[in-house]
Structure 1
Amino acid sequence: MMVTFLLTFAVFVLVIFAMSLGWLIKRKSIQGSCGGIASLGLEKVCDCPEPCDARKKRMAREAQRQQNRIL
């Protein structure tokens, strides 16, 4: 049982090290290969016609902050 755990741990460490080679060598972070949501033509993650209530509250708070900064 312990051998399986140690072997699995070693494999995970090797995989993480292999993924970090790009950063170690080029100082470039890991990136996705598909281009993200923008490549699908979506402006936001859910692509809902109207934002949810939590999003509306955040937008109102941000608008209030912007207005307070102007004044």
Structure 2
Amino acid sequence: MSTFIAAFVILLLFFLLMSIGYLIKRKAVEGSCGGLGVLGIEKACDCDDPCDKRKRRMAAEEARRAKLTKDRII
């Protein structure tokens, strides 16, 4: 049981240190290799015909972008 508690405390310590580092740098957490964009994949679901849920989400994102560009001052 003491091993579990020690491992848990160490894990919490690392989370605390990472959160302090994030607060100090104010930099977004990012991967080291660039993710799917490096491979030329624009979305996580790289299928030809996305599902209905994905289509609704994409339409909502496009509508939000259109509204933001329409209401832009500059």
Q: Same fold (TM over 0.5)?
A: yes
TM-score by length of 2: 0.61
After superposition, the C-alpha distances for 1:14-63 in whole angstroms (9 at most, x for unaligned) are 22123234313322232211112111100110210111122233445x39
State the partner residue of 2:8.
Answer: 9
Contact 1:22/1:30 (8 A) holds in 2? no
Equivalent residue pairs, number: 65
Which structure's CA Rg is the greater one? 1
Q: Unmatched 5+ residue regions in structure 1?
A: none
Change beyond 3 A, Cα 1:58–1:23? closer
| Structure ranking higher on relative contact order (CA contacts 8 Å, 6+ apart) | 1
Q: CA deviation at 1:8?
A: 1.3
